[in-house]
Structure 1
């Protein structure tokens, strides 16, 4: 029998990715039978039979559904705000744990680190699991985390604003990370728990959504500058960001990036009222301390 108030919630948002979701659920189903564990799947307007599949094959999973898509950030906020668990694992529909019985490791780390508000896990990006799974990395405090696999101490989540739905795509994790920093919560990278994010990163540049991804990535980064960074640092950060796109892409023949830069700047201008409303600027001292933290560890590669 499940506990009324679970220790862990595994939260998955999905849309029209039934094959990926089914694979993930099969990989983590052994966790769902453990006491103190619940799973919520939020079907964000799928038309591929996702809702019916989960309902029939995983009746113990709590299933939510948007008939019309409202976006994955909306789904994330709703699931996080509704869970009564002590810890909430955010897992993409194309990601699964490689480490056996990861929940005990995660809880032990939280118990030993009272200022840890969020754990960022070690992530291997690839369509297949890595041959070597060992790592010599040590746990450390980092600036941010990857959306596809992380775990919240819900006490920390409740001290910060929701993910900004107006970001639409990209940047919301960094938004939350800086809010946590402002509230004196730490994000800690835990190498002991390995996750496989089943994505071919190299192929993304040839995907149809490459333009959308780059535009979203640029504008969200710029939103963050104006939301959080000291005013005096913003001109330099903006200049460097744009120059990097020219140096790495435009000057190498990727001329469509010129249009993307223009569109992202237009997005920034349109979003300025929201940016000013939600601004929570770091002091110069806070900014300097934040910059000294180790960057988010996004891609892990096995040692050769």
Structure 2
């Protein structure tokens, strides 16, 4: 049976983290170790963990280095065959959720990542829960399972992304290396979406910035000019739909940094792999932002017909 390490990155969400850990400890599949990586909390997270969860490993980073750095740290400092990542405000809905995800990965050696289905506290669902497993372009950070050997072969996240977009980049790299990312709609993870630390303007900026970095780092040279412009235009349109914003100006000012980081990590995938990832992005991507359940069902039906 594959061993599982669980990694939870946290920042100033002690009450939410308490719930996430309590739910994780009720899973029927044994978790060999749980590592909480604290990205500089000041709300008593450390005292809560020592008093209530003495079996959980706890590391407090000396400064706030970002969610992605914390996840890299957690992966590098655990040893399980599989690495489970849930947010400090998310947990499996059913006690055998982890067991089913591990069983699927064990039965399919070419699967490097399992994307769990995500439901939020306001009733949004990413995939129809009754749907069969299917190939996806990426997973959602608040609920996924990784095969350690596949991640070791393809590399850690780009820490410069700081807080968003790492799932898309890793999904592309895994597909480029011949692995599969598979969504399991029946394995549900509840995301409570704590408001602590959420800043919509900052999220829009990092979504836009990090998509551009990914294109420079992974897109084949022949497609790069078009895809870079397409990504910029697509994100600009999304920003405009939320009303006048300064996001595009901030991204433009960050362009030298975007190019520098992208070139630093440049390792393009093959054109075939990139086109497959694009196809999956159009037909099987997790909804972002998620639509309400009935609309998600409609979209899923349409995209599966197009596949």
* TMscore range, shorter length: 0.7 to 0.9
TM-score (norm 2): 0.84
1:103 to 2:98 alignment:
yes
Tell me the distance in 2 between the aligned counterparts of 1:129 and 1:213: 19
Structural mapping, 1:24-173, within 5 Å: 24-31=20-27, 35-126=30-121, 135-173=129-167
Q: Which runs of 5+ in 1 are unaligned?
A: none
Q: Deviations over 1:76-122 (max 9, x none)?
A: 11111121111110010010110222232122101210100110001
**Residues 1:247 and 1:193: Cα distance change in structure 2 (over 3 Å):** closer
Aligned partner of 2:225 in structure 1 is 235
Aligned partner of 2:301 in structure 1 is none
Counterpart pick for 1:276 among 263, 268, 290 = 263
Alpha-carbon contact 1:144-1:295 (below 8 Å) kept: no
Secondary structure at the residue paired with 2:254? Answer: helix
Instruction: Give 1:243 deviation, angstroms.
Output: 3.6
Secondary structure at the residue paired with 2:268? Answer: coil
Tell me the distance in 2 between the aligned counterparts of 1:292 and 1:246: 21
Q: Deviations over 1:133-177 (max 9, x none)?
A: 982211011111111110011111111121111111211111211
TM-score (norm 1): 0.85
Tell me the distance in 2 between the aligned counterparts of 1:181 and 1:113: 15
267-276 vs 170-179, which moves further: 267-276
Tell me the distance in 2 between the aligned counterparts of 1:208 and 1:30: 28
Larger radius of gyration: 1
Q: Which runs of 5+ in 2 are unaligned?
A: 298-307
Aligned length: 290
Secondary structure at the residue paired with 1:41? Answer: strand
Tell me the distance in 2 between the aligned counterparts of 1:19 and 1:152: 27
